[in-house]
């Protein structure tokens, strides 16, 4: 049974991306009410380090936490809490992108409003590539950049060679599409989730298609049109499959063949399920955790719950009611506002009022 052992107001919550890496080292990073970033011990939740206001952080490994201080990027060594300056740029802002590059940006208001971006090497701080605000960097594949252009008149994805500044291939989004919503590179295949609004059979609803491209040539290899499809999928490096749980439906997609290998609707056994794919978390052990904010028509109340699906046998192994303040439950249909992070029989989750709950499986 999950039982709450700690609750704390966290102004900006905590960064679920990389949270497990930090938890492995015995620490939790949260934003306090005054936008101050603090590192807490997971033993007694005491604050160990105050990193100041307005910092954006990202955990790349269990050894380092990268922090942005305006136009300066610093690296926090987890073992001794020492800060090391990594890169400073003439641009206004800088963010860590991955373990090799950082991304800087500048907003220009005159003669007209625009953003410019620079991808810089972490080791030398030299500029690797520069582009304008219309393009969003998704990934770097063998040194080439995958940039999505989602301006209103020209929605596309393109692969750019920074060395020659040439476009290697371009994939134009359908005119009816509002743009890409999800991307994942699996071996030589790029999976794209395209979002649509008010079209045909699904009029007045949002729906999604999945497309698989050869990441080297841009050639379309497969497309899944069957509904429902979902905006977010979790990728497992071990199985090389995509998993998601939305509303009451669990799906397994093979990104190599472009086939939905499994689809299970649990609504008959669990009538109150209402899970969001944005609140899925795939653990290293092959379990898909999810947050559900269902509604009980008889009791006239929302039911915040957390569940877990075994991705090997596709069984929903447990569904647990989460005790959240009644005031929060009564005013919001999204009482649970984050994916649950599970680590060492503890659950870390955020509610819609930015409270972080830590529960223990007892």
Is it the case that residue 202 has pLDDT exceeding 50? no
pLDDT for residue 177:
62
Of 4, 1, 51, nearest to 30 by C-alpha is 51
Pairwise CA distance, residues 225 & 211, whole Å:
9
**Position with higher pLDDT, 205 vs 104:** 104
Neighbours of 35 (CB within 10 A): 12
- CA 72 → CA 33, 122, 128, 292, distances in Å? 24, 12, 17, 39
CA atoms lying within 13 Å on the CB side of residue 268: 2
Pairing relationship of beta strands 127-132 and 114-121 according to DSSP bridges: antiparallel
pLDDT for 115-134, tens place per residue? 788 999 998 889 999 987 77
Copy the structure tokens of residue 338: 């984050």
Question: Which H/E stretch holds residue 22?
Answer: helix 19-24
Cα angle at 138 between 103 and 311, to 5 degrees?
125
Q: Which CATH number fits domain 228-361: 3.30.1490.480, 1.10.357.10, 3.40.50.10330, 2.40.128.630?
A: 2.40.128.630
Q: Which of 14-18, 73-77, 323-327, 336-340 has the highest mean pLDDT?
A: 73-77
Q: What is the mean pLDDT of residues 256-285?
A: 92
Residues 6 or more apart in contact with residue 250 via CB below 8 angstroms: 243, 244, 262, 263, 264, 265, 266, 288, 309, 314, 316
Tell me, letter by letter, the H, E, C secondary structure of 267-331: CCCCCCCCEEEEEEEECCCCEEEEEEEEEECCCCEEEEEEEEEECCCCEEEEEEECCCCHHHHHH
Integer distance in angstroms from the first to the last C-alpha of the chain? 5
Pairwise CA distance, residues 129 & 255, whole Å:
30
**Position with higher pLDDT, 215 vs 362:** 215
pLDDT for residue 51:
86
DSSP, res 174 = P
pLDDT for residue 54:
63
Per-residue pLDDT band for 325 (boundaries 50, 70, 90) equals confident
pLDDT for residue 295:
79
pLDDT for residue 331:
60
Left, alpha or beta for 314 (phi > 0: left; psi -120 to 50: alpha)? left
Per-residue pLDDT band for 179 (boundaries 50, 70, 90) equals low
pLDDT for 5-63, tens place per residue? 888 877 766 666 678 888 888 898 888 777 788 899 988 889 899 888 767 788 888 88
pLDDT for residue 322:
83
pLDDT for residue 342:
86
Average pLDDT, the chain: 85
Q: What is the mean pLDDT of residues 344-358?
A: 86
In sign, the C-alpha dihedral spanning 159, 165, 166, 171 is positive
**Position with higher pLDDT, 220 vs 55:** 220
Is it the case that residue 203 has pLDDT exceeding 50? no
Neighbours of 352 (CB within 10 A): 18
Is it the case that residue 215 has pLDDT exceeding 90? yes
Is it the case that residue 287 has pLDDT exceeding 90? yes
**Position with higher pLDDT, 351 vs 175:** 351
The reply to whether 228-361 shares the fold of 1-131 is: no
Pairwise CA distance, residues 289 & 287, whole Å:
6
Structural fold of domain 1-131 = Methylamine Dehydrogenase; Chain H (2.130.10)
Domain boundaries, the chain: 1-131, 228-361
Q: What is the mean pLDDT of residues 111-117?
A: 71
pLDDT for residue 300:
75
Whether residue 37 contacts residue 55, with contact meaning beta carbons closer than 8 Å, is answered with: yes
């Amino acid at each position: 049974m999950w039982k709450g052992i700690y609750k704390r107001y966290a102004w900006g919550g905590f960064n679920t991306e990389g949270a497990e890496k930090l938890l492995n080292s015995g620490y939790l990073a949260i934003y306090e009410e005054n936008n101050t970033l603090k590192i807490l011990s997971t033993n007694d939740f005491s604050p160990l380090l105050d990193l100041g206001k307005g910092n954006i952080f990202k955990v790349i490994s269990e050894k380092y936490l990268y922090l942005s201080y305006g136009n300066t990027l610093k690296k926090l060594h987890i073992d001794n809490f020492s800060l090391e300056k990594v890169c400073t740029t003439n641009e206004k802002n800088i963010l860590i992108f991955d373990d090799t590059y950082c991304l800087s940006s500048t907003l220009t208001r005159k003669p007209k409003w625009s953003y410019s971006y620079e991808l810089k090497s972490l080791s030398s701080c030299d500029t690797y590539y520069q582009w304008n605000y219309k393009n969003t960097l998704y990934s770097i594949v063998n040194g080439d950049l995958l940039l999505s252009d989602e301006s209103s008149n020209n929605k596309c994805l393109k692969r750019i060679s920074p060395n020659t500044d040439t476009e290697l291939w371009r994939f134009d989004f359908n005119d009816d599409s509002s743009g890409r919503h999800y991307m994942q590179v699996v071996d030589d295949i790029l999976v794209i989730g395209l979002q649509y609004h008010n079209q045909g059979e699904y009029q007045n609803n949002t729906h999604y298609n999945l497309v698989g491209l050869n990441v080297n040539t841009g050639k379309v290899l497969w497309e899944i049109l069957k509904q429902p499809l979902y905006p977010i999928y979790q990728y497992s490096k071990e199985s090389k499959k995509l998993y998601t749980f939305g509303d009451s439906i669990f799906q397994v997609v093979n990104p190599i063949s472009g086939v939905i290998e499994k689809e299970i609707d649990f609504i008959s056994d669990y009538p109150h399920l209402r899970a969001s794919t944005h609140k899925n978390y795939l653990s290293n052990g092959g379990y898909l955790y999810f947050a559900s904010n269902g509604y009980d028509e008889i009791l006239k109340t929302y039911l915040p719950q957390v569940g877990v699906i075994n991705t090997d046998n596709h069984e929903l192994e447990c569904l647990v009611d989460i005790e959240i303040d009644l005031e929060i439950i009564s005013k919001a249909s999204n009482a649970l506002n984050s994916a649950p992070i599970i680590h060492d029989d503890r659950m870390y989750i955020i509610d819609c009022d930015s409270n972080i709950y830590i529960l223990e499986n007892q």
